[in-house]
Amino acid sequence: MQVSMTVNGQQHSDEVEPRLLLAHYLRDVVGLKATNIGCDTTSCGACTVIVDGLSVKSCTLLAAQAEGAEVTTLEGLAGPDGELHPMQKAFREEHGLQCGFCTPGMVMAAIGVLADNPDPSDREVREGLEGNLCRCTGYHNIVRAVQSAAKAGPAAGQVPQGQEVAR
Amino acid sequence: MSILGTRVVRTEDPLFLTRGATYTDDLVDDRLTGALHATFIRSQVAHGRVLSVDTSAAREAPGVVAVYSAEDCTDLDPIPAGLPMVPAAMSRPWFASETVRFVGDIIAVVLTEERYQGEDAAEMVSVDIDTLPAVVTTADALKDETLLFPEAGTNVMAAFGEPEPADFFAGCEVVVRQAVVNQRVAPVPLETRAAAAAWGEDGRVTIFCSNQGAQQAKAQIAGWLGLDPALVHLVTPDVGGGFGAKIGADPEFAMVAWLAQKAGRPVKWVENRSENLVGMLHGRGQDQVVAIGGSRDGTVEAYSLLVDQDCGAYPRFGPVLPTLTMLMAPAVYAFPKVHAQARALATNTTSIGAYRGAGRPEATAAVERALDLFAAEIGMDPAEVRRKNLLPDFHEPHTTAMGAVYDSGEYVAALDKVLDAAGYQELRAEQARRRENGDVKQLGIGMSVYVEITGADTGLGAGESAEMEVHPDGTATVLTGTSPHGQGHATAWAMIASEQTGIPVDKITVIHGDTDRIPRGGGTMGSRSLQQGGAAVHQAATELVELAKQRAAEQLEADPADLEIDLSSAGLSVRGTPGAGITLAQLAEKEPLLVQTRFEAGGPTFPFGAHLVVVEVDTESGKTEVQRVVTVDDAGTIVNPLLAEGQRHGGIAQGVAQALLEEVLYDADGNPQTSTLADYPFVSATELPSFELVDMATPTPMNPLGAKGIGEAGTIGSTPAVHNAVIDAVAHLGVRHIDMPTTPMKVWRAIQQAQQEGTH
């Protein structure tokens, strides 16, 4: 079947199997490999992307279900000049990543947390990220990164709109 | 000011945060064009006789290129036990043909054009198995009634030490004995296992796989496949966490190379999480008995530890784990008598391997639980009992009853620091108030004091290789035999090289995990990397500066002894003659400025520390909330506090996870009950507090950096501190012991049982 969607500001239209997961569509068809897959049960959140403004686990959506949607992945966050999104910047400065596998999903989920609540408490950050698992950081620096990003203002809870991301 | 000791943010991160790291599944490489996908068919029975394997339907399925099972694999010898103490009969066939020994044993494999086709075709392989009784626990294994390997005549893979002498506790006023479970857990790196292989026209195979040490993985794969090691090129892409479970090679990695040869096309395998949770090595899995005896004044006279190590179906690192547990049994204490015995046992479960700490957390958990039991028995504060028995400060090597040679230790100071930082007296006062009031939510205070061994010689030597080259454009390349998978070596090694040469960190590229470029290396495990690999980079950079001095002396017509490194220009200048000098980059223009070196450590190091954990336990539901984790972790000199703290955070979290939540479970027939992340209670952000880290740094003389290991310390300290805290919260209700994980149900039951027994 044919699916069409905007990924990081770029229009894509591809012939896919109806059962193809959005996560595999992004990785294997569009060729954006930052989005990772860490489980089969919607438990780990490594595949989190933003679909029409909501953070979504892309292993739990068929590509077909994202028909016509605006999808943002980690690759779509930085500015055209390479300027890091406030959440990317905060993750770097606070050492919020180690092996990096959960990171693409964690960053997208963290943006979703701030979209819902621009000034969360530590507890609210932890609850907001409950569906995103990390084995390396003990979450300590991830929580700090989200708090630090929150201080950067509303942009930390937003994804760039309609921006063409070169690939 | 030296760059060492400063909080340099990671050079890895800009790429990781914008394009993502490149894990094995992400590789875009010409050599892998047209790669087939491998999908394994695994046993769903824990123990049984294979009656038939019918692959005919699968062969006809869409996209299937080939299906292989035992009958197709006559060219390979079984995978040997690989450990001298383990009976040779305990080898592993590549494909189970007669007997399956755990749920997850490989029976067949399908190769398909597309990944989804593999899942479909695997469903069509029909396997008929006649079920045998399963050996699920160490107690079952010890009975030797059902044998995994009848030819071996026993389920005992290895045995260490003698039984405890009958009079071991003679003369002790108080003796406490307790069975303690150090449960099986799953390492669960977020990246599952993955491998890809392609054979070149030159007859060499390139293997990409997710591992913790390319050189060791290569040697194993070449050995298993009977290949000349020169024909094997192993490349480690970015690795999404290992925690010990990715040490060396797994049979699947070798099989991917074998399949690529067999099929004549590149082959790729990326397991999913349910395959990972039965196929990847598990950790821990010890049934212990601790016994501790002494006098009512708090002095411990004798300590005894018995370990029954569950090794799973096939020997991996499991039989080695209890030797580390035994080695570290005396821990931080001046116990006059220490005894340890261990048995390593085969069960019809997933094989056990190294997991963050690997044998040492089990030693600390045992002795720290024993001390709390002893303290409770004699009615003394657990901090006081510890202080009474800790080894006094030492700065010359100390040899323990088990033969470990600790480099230095200030254990009392570590304990005092953590108690002060936590406000121990106030916490005890708050606990007393809650107990007095009969509050539903009771406070528990748990502690541990630990020492561990890092950088131990695991057979590959206690050294590491490094190469450094300065290029004419002023950049430098560092090659290392360590194998980072989250630890930040690219940053830390660049800092170390920069400190000696003045080349900025962002101009130094660190390369690892390519056996053609780096033939010798020990990988990253056992908290060895900084103290050996980092020290090797330090040595390479130092030697490079010396080499540069020799070369510059000719050009500048000066005595090498009069030359000194000028860090601001990354060059050499003549002492007392400002302006007269030459940069390293300029020197590299004439001929390559390159040094290859090998650093040999003076010996292993023994990081130590103390953890204090505060929990609140709801006595009506049994639920624990961890309120505070305060830790002192002395890893010697710190190169980058940001990275060291990150290691501590992650380690602490995995300890909390084991103490409170995580456990791999099997039913009585050996069926895994926790083979998805919906079932396995992987610790999440909501179950942890932020951590309070206290600084303490006693440099080691074993390497010029003064660095000890930090990768595993957090786990070693936090596991018993959390465990003790939970029990402490309900101790006044008559509860003496609860096994890990201290889930709400177990805590609630323990309270109910204690109340029924009326022991309070």
| B678 to A125: CB separation less than 8 angstroms, yes or no | no
Question: Would you say residue B511 has pLDDT above 80?
Answer: yes
Question: What percentage of chain B's residues is helix, strand, coil (to nearest 5)?
Answer: 30, 25, 40
How do the domains of chain B map onto residue ranges? 34-132, 283-454+604-757, 463-600
What angle do the packed helices B360-378 and B713-730 form, to 10 degrees? 30
Bridge partner list, B178: B290
Can you identify the CATH homologous superfamily of domain A2-75?
Answer: Beta-grasp domain (3.10.20.30)
Q: In B, which residues are within 8 Å of A38 by CB distance?
A: 190-192, 240, 273, 677
Q: In B, which residues are within 8 Å of A143 by CB distance?
A: 685, 690
Tell me what percent of the residues of chain A surpass a pLDDT of 90: 95
B476-496 mean pLDDT? 98
Strand, coil or helix: what is B286?
A: strand
pTM above 0.95, yes or no: yes
Distance CA B754, CA B734 (A): 5
The size of the A-B interface in CB pairs under 8 A is 179
The verdict on domain B463-600 having CATH code 3.30.365.10 is: yes
Distance CA B356, CA B245 (A): 9
- pLDDT confidence tier of residue B460, bands split at 50, 70 and 90: low
Within the 47-106 window of chain A, which residues sit less than 8 Å (CB to CB) from chain B?
Answer: 74-75, 77-78, 82, 84, 88, 91-93, 95, 97-104
Q: Phi and psi for B418 in degrees, rounded to 5?
A: -70, -35
Q: Are B38 and B268 in contact (CB under 8 A)?
A: yes
A 10 A CB-CB count for B538 gives 25
For position B692, what pLDDT does the model report? 98
Q: In B, which residues are within 8 Å of A41 by CB distance?
A: 273, 676-678
- pLDDT confidence tier of residue B462, bands split at 50, 70 and 90: confident
- pLDDT confidence tier of residue B457, bands split at 50, 70 and 90: confident
Q: What are the residues whose beta carbons fall under 8 Å from the beta carbon of B296, sequence distance 6 or more?
A: B173, B174, B378
Q: pLDDT tens across B322-376, in order?
A: 999 999 999 999 999 999 999 999 999 999 999 999 999 999 999 999 999 999 9
Fold designation for B34-132: Aldehyde Oxidoreductase; domain 3 (3.90.1170)
C-alpha to C-alpha distances, B157 to A125, B135, B282, B323, nearest whole angstrom = 47, 14, 17, 13
Q: Which two tokens stand for residue B634?
A: 């002395």
Question: Would you say residue B760 has pLDDT above 60?
Answer: no
Distance CA B540, CA B599 (A): 9
Question: Would you say residue A163 has pLDDT above 70?
Answer: no
| B688 to A136: CB separation less than 8 angstroms, yes or no | no
Within the 184-203 window of chain B, which residues sit less than 8 Å (CB to CB) from chain A?
Answer: 187-192
Bridge partner list, A149: none
CA atoms within 13 A on the CB side of B745: 2
C-alpha to C-alpha distances, B497 to A98, B238, B476, B535, B539, nearest whole angstrom = 21, 22, 9, 10, 9
For position A165, what pLDDT does the model report? 38
How do the domains of chain A map onto residue ranges? 2-75, 86-157
Q: Which range among B97-111, B146-160, B562-576 shows the weakest confidence by mean pLDDT?
A: B562-576
Of the candidates B388, B654, B711, B342, the one whose C-alpha atom is nearest the C-alpha of residue B524 is: B711
Q: pLDDT tens across B699-723, in order?
A: 999 999 999 999 999 999 999 999 9
- Mean pLDDT of the residues in chain B: 97
Q: pLDDT tens across B390-433, in order?
A: 999 999 999 999 999 999 999 999 999 999 999 999 999 999 99
Tell me what percent of the residues of chain B surpass a pLDDT of 70: 99
Q: Where are the alpha helices (DSSP H) in chain A?
A: 22-24, 86-93, 103-116, 122-128, 140-151
- What one-character DSSP code corresponds to residue B459? S
Closest residue in chain B to residue A138, using alpha carbons only: B650
B618-629 mean pLDDT? 98
Question: Would you say residue A164 has pLDDT above 50?
Answer: no
C-alpha torsion B677→B678→B683→B687, nearest 10: 170
ipTM for the predicted complex comes to 0.97
* Closest Cα in chain B, distance from residue A24 (Å): 10
* Closest Cα in chain B, distance from residue A1 (Å): 16
Q: pLDDT tens across B114-149, in order?
A: 999 999 999 999 999 999 999 999 999 999 999 999
Question: Would you say residue B759 has pLDDT above 60?
Answer: no
C-alpha to C-alpha distances, B358 to B306, B525, B611, nearest whole angstrom = 17, 10, 19
Closest partner residue to A136 (CB to CB) among B28, B241, B274 is: B241
Q: pLDDT tens across B518-562, in order?
A: 999 999 999 999 999 999 999 999 999 999 999 999 999 899 999
* Strand ranges in B473-567 using DSSP code E only, listed in sequence order: 476-480, 508-511, 563-566
Q: What architecture does CATH give domain B283-454+604-757?
A: 2-Layer Sandwich (3.30)
Q: Do domains B34-132 and B283-454+604-757 have the same CATH topology?
A: no
In chain B the first and final C-alpha atoms are separated, in Å, by: 60
Distance CA A126, CA A146 (A): 10
Fold designation for A86-157: DNA polymerase; domain 1 (1.10.150)
Question: Would you say residue B94 has pLDDT above 60?
Answer: yes
Q: Are B67 and B109 in contact (CB under 8 A)?
A: yes
Strand, coil or helix: what is B640?
A: coil
